[in-house]
Amino acid sequence: MPFTNDLHGFCYYLMCKHGNPGALTEEQKADEFRKMYVMKSPVKMKDIRAVAACCNINVDKLDSMPSNLRGYHDVYNENKTIYYKQGDAVSGIENTILHEIREMMEPHFAEVCPSYEFLDNVALHIAANRFASAVLLPQENFIDKVYETGLDVFELAGYYAKSCSQVLLRIGEVLNGKHFFYGALYERDPGLDVWSLNYCTLSPSLFPEPNFGELGAFFPTKGTTVTPGSLVDMAIRGEKPYLVRIFTLLDGMPKEGKTREGLIALARPMLVSDVPTRVALVVVLGRNRNLLDPQVKRIMPEIVKGFHSDLY
């Protein structure tokens, strides 16, 4: 095995073991990364800093950084530094360091494998986000916890000490192709006193009969504000979780074979000093209600009957 005390060595190891790194998913790269540097779940800040030091990468904070930037890296000869925003949450700093490490791998992949095709800036940003999430929330361990908690965004965020947004998006990634799942995280803008959707994910199932690809427009998208009387509004005003079953007529089936497919939606507020600060909305197929059972049994939401409003 080649020396892996720097990123070049790790990238060379990946190429020797798997061939062109471009053929690997970010999930696979993250798995190899964790194994190489013996990172156990839940991954903590000290583990990430230790790996950065092992790869001869300095990590430093900056007092001032553009509002739309959480961090960046600088490479000058043998000096490599990752900068993060001072005052950022620990989970944000962890994500920033791993994100930048993945971006720093890109030129090394091309060096160790001449046939490797560079990702463009947008693709690299997306890949780095996926790599960071996959390192912090390993799929095999994480999906077990997802099922164990009943798709509970807040419980998982607490267990892994990660942000609710990262956990929500990761649930969508690990359930994709396994179960239909829609998740959204609503947060309150204190300046405007308005609640809006800041993060969401839609993972279609592989079931052949319901064409949920056409149902994407049914669900709220990023930037959507909360509608009065909606399920999310009920959770905010009631300061407690609500569960509802919604029936939808599915297309993509013969007219005589159309059925009413149930969706189960759970809106749950996070309370800080008895005041809602965010709301997690999760939706699964009615046939998969058991996925939510551990969470439902734990938080005992109010069951809404005769619901004729919007989810959001």
* 216-230 residue pLDDT tens: 446 888 888 998 888
The fold adopted by the segment(s) 139-304 is Beta-Lactamase (3.30.450)
If one compares 167 and 65, the residue with the highest pLDDT of the two is: 167
Selecting from 1.20.58, 1.10.150, 3.40.50, 1.10.10, what CATH number does the domain 7-136 have? 1.10.10
Classify each residue of 76-112 as buried b or exposed e, where b means 16 or more C-beta atoms within 10 Å of its C-beta. Answer: eeeebebbbbeebeebbbbbbbbbbbbbbbbebbbeb
Q: Taking CA 264 as the corner, what is the angle to CA 134 and CA 143, rounded to the nearest 5 degrees?
A: 20
Q: pTM for this structure?
A: 0.84
Where are the domains positioned within the chain?
A: 7-136, 139-304
Q: How far, in Å, CA of 286 to CA of 217, rounded?
A: 19
Judging by beta carbons within 10 Å of its beta carbon (0-12, 13-18, 19+), is residue 261 exposed, middle or buried? buried
CB 138 within 8 A of CB 146: no
Cis peptide before 107 (omega within 30 of 0): no
Query: What is the percentage of the chain residues whose pLDDT exceeds 90?
Result: 62
Tokens of residue 153, six digits: 């965004």
Q: How far, in Å, CA of 178 to CA of 176, rounded?
A: 5
Query: What is the percentage of the chain residues whose pLDDT exceeds 70?
Result: 87
